[in-house]
Each structure stands twice: as structure tokens, then as C-alpha cells.
Structure 1
């Protein structure tokens, strides 16, 4: 009889146990309003869902919130189905999860971007201010007018973190630059107000802003759409006393359409994306080699946070009824660099951003949250 090595027996046992856990795990994800392909918060979460399916073999049920009331409806639906784990997207879920978790002690709940109450709940949060400082620094270095804009979704502690970090980054790069901040509202509806964001972007351009950072969920598409449509800002449009200070796109090839629309003394308009890498959304002529209107994006690794909490559940690890935070130190936030914006974020600026990142991680730079 062939003797099987003890180590192999143990390995096979672990594999079988892991497979059984994966097959038996029941997980539900409740998305926020805005759709799976919002190119922002929800889409980043869906990337985590797909990774879970591929690497862990777990089939996750996903509930799409269409209106505000759907958030709690989705949480309660999965609770009634006795899911092992329910993951929700956004701080607006905190109260609904706290209430439902009290009524469903056999289910674990995780909220991305908030810390709910209860022994069977967990918060997966991000230090958005750190990633926002990086993109703010890039904006301060690259602005042609010395005026940049910030469009926030719902005026809240979370979104103020984005704005505070961004403003601090801009000022660190350019003490004389001006940051103009606007918010879309005081309710969750502000995260799905594309028309409102478009209007705010137009107002910021009128005040001389040539770079606009949108931290507004699906509403950010309004800022992106405006920037892509307007393309540039003219010297004649600048407020009194404001002059162009540089032209970072002087050596970047431009499409014939851009050259025609922006002839004369002009500078390009740029947006800064959020949550996902949205750089490619600024490619108006489907050619990455020509001028792109996405300066960069502040990326939150929402997919990683979602994968981590599902993996712990599937592997049977002890439940962490507390807050897990993702920042620069553990790769939770970053700025996007790719073929679409490499000419806009040159090597010299990349090197500076690397140093800035280390200064934040080592707390030499203390990034504000409000």
C-alpha cells in the first residue's frame, strides 16, 4: 500500500475544507444608487465581486438600488434570505445596517465607508484625504490659471475629507493657488445629480478653474461631460486679474477637433476622477496619444476591501467587529497613471508625488480631514 505523506494529507484536507466553505458561503452585496457601470463607486465594488467569484469560487448575489429607499430594502431582503455576509456600499447604509443587524444576529454585515453599530457589523473605511492630497498636489502643480475647483456630492463628513485633502494638496504645491469648493446637496440624492454637477462645473470654469476634482459618485459624470464638451478655457474668459501662468499641454499632440475649437490663447480643461480610474473618460477622440482631459483619478481600492471581508468570511476567520481602514500605507488609495495621462503627469512630477506619499505615510505631512 502506498503511504501518503502526512503533509499532503493535511494540504488536501485544507483544500477540501476551503472548497466546502466556498461552496456553502452565502454572500449578498447591496449597491448604492447609480448603477453597476457608474465608472465610480459601484463599478469598483463590482470588480471586487468578480474577483471573489474568480478566486474564491463564491457566487455573490447583487442588489441594485434604484432609489434611496432601495438601500434598506436590499439589506432586509438579504437578511431574510439568511445570508452569511451582507456587504453594503456607502455611508448612507449605516443606519439601515445597524437596525437590521440587531434583528439578524446570525448574519454578518459590512459597510464600506462607514462604521455601523453591533457585534455582527464591521466598517471598511478609507483615508480618502490622503489620496486626495496627492491629486490636489498634481492639480496645484499643473493648473494653468492657479484656480482649481472641487465638486462634492452630499455635504457630509466623508465628502469633506475628499475636499480637505484636495485643498491641502493644492496649497502644498502652490500656496498662491485658489481652491473653489461646491457641493450638490445635503441628501444622498446629491450623488446622482448629473445635471447639477454639470451646472456647478460651468460655474467653476467661469471663475477661472481649469482643473475640477469631482467627489460626487455618479454625479461626477456631469463634471466629466462638461469638461469634455467645453475642452478649454480662453484668456478672454478669465476673471479680472487672472492670467495664464503655464501651458502643461504645449508639447502634447492635439486632435484636429480640439485645435479648431480651442484656437488662439487657450488652455485645456481637465477633470480629476474618483473611486475608479476614470482617466480614459477624458479621451474625446479615441486616441490616447493625443491630449486627454482626465488629469488623473483618485482611486479607492473598494474592490480590495470587498474581497478582503468576503475572503475572511469564506475562510472562517474570526469576525472583526470593528473598523478596517485603507490608506496610502496599505495600498488602499492611490492616484491613477496610465497611457491616457502620462504626458500630463511627467516623470518629474511622478517623483515628487512618490516623495509626498512617503511623507504622508511617515506622518511628516499630516493631511486634514475637514
Structure 2
């Protein structure tokens, strides 16, 4: 009896230790800021509560870089926001030359990322090669159309947005000379140029639009030099569509305005660039909702509804391009009313803005 009693006591103590251990594990599962699902009697960590916690998204920039204060930056900021909202894992690779495009894209694809973004027209050919070689990968591109069943292509009606800032420039210029600085010549940048010219001429047939190209998206010193020439030639407003190269245009304008003399302006591109360079030099900006496009397609991957093989063109009607609310700081209500008038005519089809 004594031996049986001792054996029973050992079993009771062992059972108590097991139960205590289970209790501790359950408590730890709910620690570290965990969200509790009291109705179901379960616990859930904050990461588990975020729908995209298991989703990995990679982004490859063109040579303008992720801090170009333009469309690369807008794209990255969209992924940053999704990381905070839904917990996606995200990373970017910056391309220093076109030779980096395929290796950078492949790094994400071969790394098992759920979605790989190519940002910019220049990455189109590289993405096509990667898409064909990796048919099971989910891929997406901004500003180019890639014909592949696993690629979503997002383009914008830059010509329509550029027309509207052309209206602003044509009604604001005091010298009747305005400039346009493109990065490298491409169909995308050409849409900016011809749309801008059409907008200026629509409201000011006597104004001269002087276009020039930098040949690069990552040369702010070149942008500054070209802006200096245009301002010296009498332009008082310049619209750059040149990525980081356009930052040099702002630098030149700021230097001139600080020195006194004729007031000069810059029209921002892709983002509301007054937030970066200030209202004293930014007349308005032509916004491309790249951030919205990146968030929407990435959300499809999170939701399991990715639509490869599709092309989406975002227009004025879609609110894909337009002017920011901050425009009212430097643009008169009369001019903004004229902008709205033309916007509605473009949306209705009364006006067709040239694209090339």
C-alpha cells in the first residue's frame, strides 16, 4: 500500500506540472501586444491579425532611384503604407544602370516573392524576359505594357494631366515663354510634352513652348543647367518630366528667386512636389496616382485576385491623373475654374488630347 501511495503521489505531481506548463504556453501566445478574440475564446497575434503578413512584395526602380521625389518614391511609399496597414513584407532594389534590371527582378522572383514590381517604362523589355522565363511569378509594371499572362501593366493618360497644367502655365506666364524638360525620349515622356503644349496653346495661342531633353532621369545637375538656359531665354515657367533630373530644375528656380529679379516657377510632376520643394517655387503639380495603382494591384495579391495579362490605363475620368488641392495656393480661382472646364470637356470626349 505504501508503494502504491507513493506511485499515485508521483503521478499527481506530474499531472500538475503538465497542466501548469499548458497554462503558461497559452499565456505566452497572447503576449507581446497580441489581439484577443474573446468571443471565440482564441488569441491572435498582431501579425496574424494583418491580412498580408505572409505576403512578400519586391520593387525594382529604374535608374532614377527610390528617392527620386517622383514616381519611384510614390511606388515605394504605397508599399510602406501597405506594410503598416496589412503587414506585408517589402523590399526594393535600386538599379544603377539598365544592366541591373534583369538581375534585380530575378532576385525577387527566385526569392519566392509573391509580387515583383518593375517601376518605369525602361524596365519593360527586362520584365518581359523575366516573365517568359518564370510563368508562375506574379509581376507588374508601371508606365509600360508587357504582353505576358503573368504581368499586370499599368499606364496613365499623362497627356490629359499635362494638358491641365499646360492651361495653368498658359494663363500664368508673364513672358509668354514656358519650358518643358523631359528625361529620356520615350512614348511616356512624349505624352507629357504634347499634352502640355496643347494645354498651353488652348488658352494662350501666342505663348511659345520650348521643349528640351536631358537624356537621363538621374542627373539633377543636367536639369539645373537646362533650366538655367530656359530661364535665360525668357521662360518663366518650366515643366520637367524627368525624375531626379527634374530636382535640379527646382534648385535653379529657387536660386534665381532668392537672388531677386524675374519670378520663375516650376510645375511638379507625378507627386505634389510643393510638399518637397515649397510653395514659393512650385506653381502646381501634375499628379499621377502611381501610389494608388501600386496599392490596388498589391491588394489583389493579398486577396488572391491578381489579374495577370491585363492592361489598365488610368485617365482623368478614373482620377488617375490631375492636380493637387495645394494648387489653390498659387493658382487663382479663375484659372482653376478654367482647368475644371477643360477637365470636364476631356472626360466627356468633347476634347481629345494628343498623345504623340
User: Residue in 1 aligned with 2:283?
Assistant: 295
Task: Answer yes or no: is the 8 Å Cα contact 1:82–1:106 preserved in 2.
Answer: no
Q: Deviations over 1:152-208 (max 9, x none)?
A: 0001111000001000000011011110000112xxxx1112122112111111221
The 5 A counterparts of 1:123-134 are 123-134=153-164
User: After the TM superposition, which of the residue ranges 32-41 and 195-204 deviates more from structure 2?
Assistant: 32-41
1:324 alignment partner, SS class: strand
Q: 1:220 aligns with which of 246, 259, 262?
A: 246
Q: 1:199 aligns with which of 225, 235, 242?
A: 225
In angstroms, what is the RMSD of aligned CA positions? 2.1
The 5 A counterparts of 1:57-206 are 57-185=87-215, 190-206=216-232
2: CA distance, partners of 1:197 / 1:30? 24
Taking structure 1 as the reference length, the TM-score comes to 0.80
C-alpha deviation, 1:35, in angstroms: 3.0
* Residue 365 (str. 1) matches residue 351 (str. 2): yes
Distance 1:56 1:28, change over 3 A: same
1:22 alignment partner, SS class: coil
Distance 1:331 1:40, change over 3 A: same
* Residue 32 (str. 1) matches residue 32 (str. 2): no
User: Residue in 1 aligned with 2:338?
Assistant: 352
2: CA distance, partners of 1:326 / 1:39? 21
Q: Deviations over 1:38-70 (max 9, x none)?
A: 211221112211221123321112222233322
User: Residue in 2 aligned with 1:241?
Assistant: none
1:125 alignment partner, SS class: strand
Taking structure 2 as the reference length, the TM-score comes to 0.83
Structure 2: give runs of 5+ residues left out of the alignment: 1-38, 40-47
Task: Answer yes or no: is the 8 Å Cα contact 2:60–2:101 preserved in 1.
Answer: yes
1:349 alignment partner, SS class: helix
User: Residue in 2 aligned with 1:308?
Assistant: 296
User: Residue in 2 aligned with 1:3?
Assistant: none
User: Residue in 1 aligned with 2:265?
Assistant: 270
C-alpha deviation, 1:318, in angstroms: 4.8
Q: Deviations over 1:254-306 (max 9, x none)?
A: xxxx5xx42xxx531001111111124443xxxx6xxx111111111111010
C-alpha deviation, 1:352, in angstroms: 1.5
1: CA distance, partners of 2:276 / 2:249? 11
Q: 2:74 aligns with which of 20, 44, 47?
A: 44
User: After the TM superposition, which of the residue ranges 140-149 and 80-89 deviates more from structure 2?
Assistant: 80-89
C-alpha deviation, 1:21, in angstroms: 5.9
Q: 1:53 aligns with which of 57, 70, 83?
A: 83
C-alpha deviation, 1:82, in angstroms: 2.2
- Aligned residue pairs, count: 312
User: Residue in 2 aligned with 1:235?
Assistant: none
Q: Answer 1 or 2: higher relative contact order, Cα 8 Å, separation at least 6.
A: 1
User: After the TM superposition, which of the residue ranges 219-228 and 37-46 deviates more from structure 2?
Assistant: 37-46
Distance 1:19 1:123, change over 3 A: farther
